[in-house]
């Protein structure tokens, strides 16, 4: 039996990456900048395909355009202190600059010593660390200085490369910490905007959940002008079909035909969310290639069965972590006409009046804060809310038996 080509799972490259042409073009435009005026923020809810787009497509685009690409995942730890952020940046840079030669001695600040010795060393992590420690000024000054030297060396060693893209995933983890007097996020924005204004082509590509951009702007208002924001959404009808059918090129005709038959229901049930498409197709493929597929008899029932499995694998665990009152509030949200988009506290309160679960304004606010902390809702800059889990509203409606 052939291997199942579909890949549901965070950061798993899909067999066919559908759509995203607008995003690719936009990034390509940013790579044409000689002076970096715009950096990129790529946001969207979990499972929409940010990581694979960045790793697969945008990386290729950068390399094709003669930019270096360094990348990492931002863990919570990076946001703890400025020192962690510096370590992250220098570690990233080291992957490129580790074998560039750096001459110390000839222009040493104490160059009037008797025997000015020239010594060539590698511009690797240790060198950068030592240099960093010996720079005067604040952390931002020191970091800028190191990055300026790196740019200088890059022009000598790799004159054909246009710049460096620093591609950071899960960047919503970056945060300033007022109570510890640690401002790694401000540091990052200050240093990059300052370097960019001096003509250094180091570009930031920050990928993360929707709170990312509001966070950047809250840290430094100039971030608003510094970033182009691309919000990834679900795939269109045609793009979904391509994601579903194209991976089957080498498969037997009867299998392809079966997928073509189910392509409508899959789109209807997944609404084009990439993770769910992969999940669905993987299940369907397993079923159709299993010892005794009975598509003809059970064809009608199949979407229902796969939905049940998706509910169990994906939603039930999240639902189980909520209190009864939090579930009540989410159930009210699932009744809103705009449950799949943005909604206000007022709308929730109004709708709750017609149910057995009336919420006051302050109680609704309190519940939303708790749900935000559990990663179930997002709040945008204008105080509107949205569900943080794709198709959660449909799951709730299925659970509650609400008519769709």
Ligand X SMILES: Nc1ncnc2c1ncn2[C@@H]1O[C@H](COP(=O)(O)OP(=O)(O)O)[C@@H](O)[C@H]1O
Q: How far is the CB of 49 from ligand X (least distance, A)?
A: 2
Which of 255, 152, 130 lies closest to 198 in space, CA to CA? 152
For ligand X, the nearest residue by Cβ is 49
Burial class of residue 35 (count of CB atoms within 10 Å of its CB; 0-12, 13-18, 19+): exposed
Burial class of residue 216 (count of CB atoms within 10 Å of its CB; 0-12, 13-18, 19+): buried
Q: Other CB atoms closer than 10 Å to residue 362's CB: what's the count?
A: 10
- Considering the complex, state which of residue 323 and residue 380 has its C-beta at the smaller distance from ligand X: 380
For Mg ion, the nearest residue by Cβ is 51
- Considering the complex, state which of residue 51 and residue 196 has its C-beta at the smaller distance from Mg ion: 51
**Which residues have a Cβ under 8 Å from the Cβ of 250 and sit 6 or more positions away?**
2
Q: Quick check: 172 binds Mg ion (CB under 5 A)?
A: no
Cα–Cα distance between 341 and 333 in angstroms, integer? 11
- Considering the complex, state which of residue 51 and residue 278 has its C-beta at the smaller distance from Mg ion: 51
Strand bridging mode 202-208 / 119-122: unpaired
- Considering the complex, state which of residue 51 and residue 182 has its C-beta at the smaller distance from Mg ion: 51
Contacted by 265, from ligand X, Mg ion, none: CB < 5 to 8 Å by type: none
Beta bridge pairs of residue 207 = 42
Contacted by 264, from ligand X, Mg ion, none: CB < 5 to 8 Å by type: none
Cα–Cα distance between 390 and 103 in angstroms, integer? 53
Q: Quick check: 51 binds Mg ion (CB under 5 A)?
A: yes
Q: Quick check: 71 binds Mg ion (CB under 5 A)?
A: no
Contacted by 390, from ligand X, Mg ion, none: CB < 5 to 8 Å by type: none
Contacted by 118, from ligand X, Mg ion, none: CB < 5 to 8 Å by type: none
- Considering the complex, state which of residue 86 and residue 269 has its C-beta at the smaller distance from ligand X: 269
**Which residues have a Cβ under 8 Å from the Cβ of 352 and sit 6 or more positions away?**
329, 332, 358, 359, 364
Contacted by 20, from Mg ion, ligand X, none: CB < 5 to 8 Å by type: ligand X
Q: How far is the CB of 5 from ligand X (least distance, A)?
A: 11
Q: How far is the CB of 230 from ligand X (least distance, A)?
A: 12
Contacted by 96, from ligand X, Mg ion, none: CB < 5 to 8 Å by type: none
Contacted by 9, from Mg ion, ligand X, none: CB < 5 to 8 Å by type: ligand X
Q: How far is the CB of 402 from ligand X (least distance, A)?
A: 28
- Considering the complex, state which of residue 138 and residue 312 has its C-beta at the smaller distance from ligand X: 312
Cα–Cα distance between 96 and 94 in angstroms, integer? 5
Q: Which residues make up the interface to ligand X (CB under 6 A)?
A: 7-12, 14, 17-20, 44, 46-52, 243, 274-275, 277-278
Q: Other CB atoms closer than 10 Å to residue 392's CB: what's the count?
A: 22
- Considering the complex, state which of residue 212 and residue 277 has its C-beta at the smaller distance from ligand X: 277
Which of 178, 193, 220 lies closest to 39 in space, CA to CA? 193
Question: What letter would DSSP give residue 3?
Answer: P
Kind plus residue range of the DSSP H or E element containing 146? helix 139-157
Q: How far is the CB of 9 from ligand X (least distance, A)?
A: 5
- Considering the complex, state which of residue 280 and residue 385 has its C-beta at the smaller distance from ligand X: 280
Residues that bind Mg ion (CB under 5 A): 51
């Amino acid at each position: 039996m052939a291997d199942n080509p579909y890949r549901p799972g965070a950061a798993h490259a899909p067999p066919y990456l559908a759509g995203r042409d607008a995003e690719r073009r936009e990034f390509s435009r940013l790579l044409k900048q000689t002076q970096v005026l715009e950096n990129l923020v790529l946001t969207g809810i979990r499972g929409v395909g940010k990581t694979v787009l960045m790793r697969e497509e945008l990386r290729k685009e950068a390399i094709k355009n003669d930019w270096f690409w360094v990348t990492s995942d931002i863990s919570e730890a990076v946001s703890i202190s400025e020192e962690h952020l510096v370590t992250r940046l220098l570690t990233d840079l080291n992957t490129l600059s580790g074998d560039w030669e750096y001459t110390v001695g000839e222009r040493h600040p104490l160059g009037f010593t008797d025997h000015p010795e020239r010594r060539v060393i590698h511009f690797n992590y240790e060198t950068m660390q030592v240099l960093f420690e010996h720079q005067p000024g604040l952390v931002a000054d020191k970091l800028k200085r190191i990055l300026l030297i790196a740019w200088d060396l890059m022009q000598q060693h790799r004159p054909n490369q246009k710049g460096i893209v620093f591609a950071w995933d899960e960047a919503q983890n970056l945060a300033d910490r007022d109570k510890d007097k640690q401002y790694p996020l401000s540091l990052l924005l200050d240093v990059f905007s300052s370097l960019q204004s001096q003509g250094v082509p180091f570009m930031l590509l920050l990928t993360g959940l929707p709170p990312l951009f509001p966070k950047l702007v809250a840290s430094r208002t100039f971030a608003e002008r510094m970033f182009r924001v691309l919000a990834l959404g679900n795939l269109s009808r045609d793009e979904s079909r391509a994601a579903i059918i194209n991976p089957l090129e080498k498969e037997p005709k009867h299998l392809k035909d079966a997928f073509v038959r189910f392509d409508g229901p899959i789109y209807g049930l997944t609404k084009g969310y990439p993770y769910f498409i992969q999940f669905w197709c993987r299940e369907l493929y397993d079923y159709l290639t299993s010892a005794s597929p009975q598509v003809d008899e059970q064809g009608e029932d199949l979407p229902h069965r796969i939905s049940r499995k998706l509910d169990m694998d994906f939603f039930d665990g999240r639902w189980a972590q909520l209190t009864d009152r939090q579930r009540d509030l989410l159930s009210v949200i699932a009744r809103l006409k705009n449950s799949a988009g943005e909604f206000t506290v007022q709308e929730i309160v109004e709708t709750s009046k017609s149910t057995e679960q009336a919420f006051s304004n302050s109680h609704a606010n309190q519940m939303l804060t708790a749900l935000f902390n559990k990663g179930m809702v997002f709040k945008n800059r204008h105080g509107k809310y949205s569900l943080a889990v794709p198709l959660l509203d449909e799951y709730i409606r299925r659970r509650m038996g609400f008519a769709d």
